[in-house]
Amino acid sequence: MSEPAATIASARPARAARHDFAAIAQWIRPGAHVLDLGCGDGTLLRALRETRAANGYGIEIDDAKIVASVRNAVNVIQSNLESGLSGFESSSFDYVILSQTLQAVRHTEDLLREMLRVGREGIISFPNFGFWRLRKQILLGGRMPVSKNLPYEWYNTPNVHLFTITDFESFCATRGIRILERVVMNEKGERIALLPNLLGAVAVYRLDAARG
């Protein structure tokens, strides 16, 4: 793990440990202009500011999380991602980040298109529904799976689209989205190279819109 990524991992509270944050950080160039969609309490943006001298904004709809972001000295805009990013000009950010939120978005294709319009690159992380522990729960238990990265029951989940690494890569291939880099991790945050769609709990992608 690079030094800035390690700093991010150690800077945030253990209760909010997010292995994908460290993977995201390694791709952010120093001084970058960043937009974090569904920024939560602003932990990621604060860490990117402290370790990468990044600046930018977060977008969040939840009142309590907006207050937490302000306490983290993060510039946050209250808005619903489903309404789009029409308030931002094209290529106005170096990176647009969507961390473990894509599965809760109804208009997936529209949001990804807007991300790659507003940002020169997009960074996305999501829980992999193809992870073997989840498959096991469905196969042997016959119930919707619950895990560290998908902690909700079927009746109270905010997730509207559950998908796998293979699903996501197929989606990108058919919509002119270019995958620049990929990191797949298990539940401990260890990187997975072999059988990622089976052994990976979380995937992180760096993307851009294929041009020309």
Per-residue pLDDT tens for 74-98?
Answer: 999 999 998 889 889 999 999 999 9
CATH number, domain of 29, equals: 3.40.50.150
Nearest-angstrom CA–CA distance, 27 and 61? 26
pLDDT of residue 210: 76
- DSSP designation for 165: H
pLDDT of residue 183: 97
Residue 133: inside a domain, yes or no? no
pLDDT at residue 8 above 50?
no
Which structural domain, as residue segments, surrounds residue 49?
Answer: 3-128+163-209
What's the whole-number mean pLDDT along residues 126-144? Answer: 92
Strand arrangement, sheet containing 76-78: 76-78, 55-60, 33-37, 93-99, 119-127, 202-209, 177-185
Q: How many domains does the chain have?
A: 1
Share of the chain above pLDDT 70, in %: 91
- CA-closest candidate to residue 116, choices 98, 91, 99: 91
pLDDT, tens digit (0-9, with 9 covering 90-100), for 13-27: 333 458 999 999 999
Residue 143: inside a domain, yes or no? no
pTM: 0.87
What is the rounded average pLDDT for all residues in the chain?
A: 89
More confident residue, 39 or 160: 39
Residue 157: inside a domain, yes or no? no
Residue 35: in which H helix or E strand, if any? strand 33-37
Report whether 18 contacts 126 (CB < 8 A).
no
Residue 101: inside a domain, yes or no? yes
pLDDT, tens digit (0-9, with 9 covering 90-100), for 165-203: 999 999 999 999 999 999 999 999 999 999 999 999 999
Residue 14: inside a domain, yes or no? yes
